[in-house]
Each structure stands twice: as C-alpha cells, then as structure tokens.
Amino acid sequence: MPVPAADPRALPDLAVRTLGGGVVWANDELFAGRENLVNPWPPSFTPRTFGAKGQVYDGWETRRRREPGHDAAIVRLGIPGLVHLVVVDTTHFTGNSPTSASIEALCRDGHPSADDLRAATWTPLVPRSPLRPDGANAFPVASDRRWTHIRLTIHPDGGVARLRVHGEAVADPHLVAALGTVDLVGVGVGGRVIRCSNRFYGEPQRLIEPGPARSMGEGWETARRRGPGNDWVELRLAARGTVRVAELDTTWFLGNAPAFAALSAYDGPGDPPGDTSWRPLLPRTPLQPDTRHLIVIDAADPATHVRLDIHPDGGMARLRLWGTPTGDGLAALHSRWQATAP
C-alpha cells in the first residue's frame, strides 16, 4: 500500500527522542516525568504498578491543581521544521487527563536555555481545544514557518502520554555547506519518503532516521510476497546532489533480509511521474543478512530523488546516500531556510 502523501501522520515526528527531541522544561511533573512525552514507543500501562507517588504512568503527569492556573511543558524539536499536525495523546489517562490543551511554537536557533525559552514570545499554533481522555487527539496546523520549540499547555492539570509533532524538516544550509559530504536522504537534513509498495511490519520512514537501528523493529519491513514483482520505496533527497556512496544496512534482519537490492535516480523539479522516469544508479546487487553494505557509486549526474528496489521482499534497517549537494541544491536550501523564517 503506497504511503499516503496527504496524510501528515506519514511525516516524521520532529519531536521524538530518536530524532533528537527533548523536553527542556515543565512547571510540574510530580506523578510522571516530562521526558516521557517524546518517547518513541507507544504508551504502555501495567495496572496496579505503584511507586512512591502512585500508579506508574508512561507519560507526563502533574499534581491535582488546587488553585487557578494551568500546567505547561516546553519541547525542543530534534529537527527544526514546518509543523503540519500535532497529536496530544492521552492514552491510558482516563480519570486524570486534562480537559483541554493549547499549542504554541517558537523559532530560536542555537542552544537556548530553559530560562531563555520561558521569557520568549511564543506564536499560537493550536488554540485551547478540548481533549478526549485515553485517546490520540490530533490537531492539524496551518503554518508555513519554521519552528524549533513547542510549548504544550494543559488545562487545568493532569496527564499526557505523548506529544507528536508531525512535519517537514528544514535543513540549515550553513551546516550542510560546512559539512560538504552529507547523507542526502537523511531525515535530519530534509530527506523524505514519498511512496512505497508495502509497509506491513515497519514504516519506510525508519530507513532514513539517524543512528543505527537497535532492533529489527526499528527498520522497514514488508509482508512476504506471494506473487510476482518486488517491493520498493521512493525518496526525495534533501537537496539536489551527487551520490558517492550508498549504505544498504540489513542489520538485525537475519532470515528476512532481501536477496538483492537496486537503486535508481531521478532528476527533476517535481516528484517522478512514473516508473519510466528513473535511471540506473546501482544495478541489482546481492545482499547479505545482518550486514552494513557500503558501496561506491560511480554517478556523474546529480539527482533529486532515489528509488530503492528490494528483491523480492523483506526488511532493511537503514538506507544512507552519502554525497555532495550541487550549487543549485544548496541555493534551494538557502531559499527555503529564508522563506520559512518567522
């Protein structure tokens, strides 16, 4: 099933811990720590698991408020970017969830302190809105600005399991230019999955996340193919560039790694219109299970998109495409950076 391009949940969670997100401040966290808001796994709950402060929750929970006011937490996005959907997840919080919440955003480059952030002027993204207990409350966001921090305010108090901030990464062109060789498809610099054939066991977005996979569950894996054909994923590079080294990582995939893989490239202003638009980048190459394959690419022509074909099916932990942005690729990054500045 192709990834729905119009579904903002298919976009990366810019706040998640595995992408570098963190909770830098909360006014109260008596019952459950603020850091749980950005955990990558779904919220868990074991009934009658009590600690010194009561039932243990996999989320952020404040004390019962006995005076007027509200509680708040500030989240640093792991990757600055455009925000399209915020999910305030109150899963497992039933009689202790907030009645409503609001979301604000801030763009503050560098490494500001919690005090700096608290004193800053914030921009509303989601007005105060009612929350359902024990559920994922999704709020679409209409904003064309780049943000680095999110402030979640809950009214009046209570618990939230997760805060998901789905959006598009906006790469800092100064860092990309200074680095020279970068992972052109990495989510940290703005790489993005646009389509895939199958995502039964694992999301294709995981292919381009930073760091090594810590288990098979952190990779992309398809269902077993029982008919002809093969599985594939198409990706948009962060910037137009020339791929020098491809890293095809099957770490953790033992009896379910693909037998072969191939890469194709496309160079154009928009997403590829069809299969006939792709040119060969890496011919069909045998893969070994549980192996990090590093392959030199002899590619003289730049690309804007890459397609990974796996034969016939299976799973991969990571895909890295190490290369150099072109001059016009860097110029496009600069234009986007400036256009999205608050």
Residue (of 9, 10, 8) closest to 196 by Cα position = 10
CA 212 – CA 274 distance, rounded (Å): 32
Q: Is the pTM of this model over 0.85?
A: yes
CA 234 – CA 249 distance, rounded (Å): 17
CA 306 – CA 264 distance, rounded (Å): 6
Kind plus residue range of the DSSP H or E element containing 86: strand 71-89
Spell out the per-residue pLDDT of the chain, length 342, in tens.
Answer: 333 346 888 899 999 999 999 999 999 998 889 999 999 999 988 877 888 777 778 899 999 999 999 999 999 999 999 999 999 999 999 999 999 999 999 999 999 999 999 999 999 999 999 999 999 999 999 999 999 999 999 999 999 999 999 999 999 999 999 999 999 999 999 999 999 999 999 999 999 999 999 999 999 999 999 999 999 999 999 999 999 999 999 999 999 999 999 999 999 988 888 777 899 999 999 999 999 999 999 877 999 999 999 999 999 999 999 999 999 999 999 999 999 998
Q: What are phi and psi of 247, to 5 degrees?
A: -115, 110
Task: With beta carbons less than 8 A apart as the criterion, state whether 38 and 76 touch.
Answer: no
Indicate the burial class of 233 (C-beta count within 10 angstroms; 0-12, 13-18, 19 or more): buried
| Domains of the chain by start residue, with CATH | 8-169 (2.60.120.260), 173-329 (2.60.120.260)
Q: What string of DSSP letters covers 130-156?
A: E--TTSEEEEE----S-EEEEEEEEES
Residue (of 246, 244, 247) closest to 326 by Cα position = 244
CA 231 – CA 78 distance, rounded (Å): 30
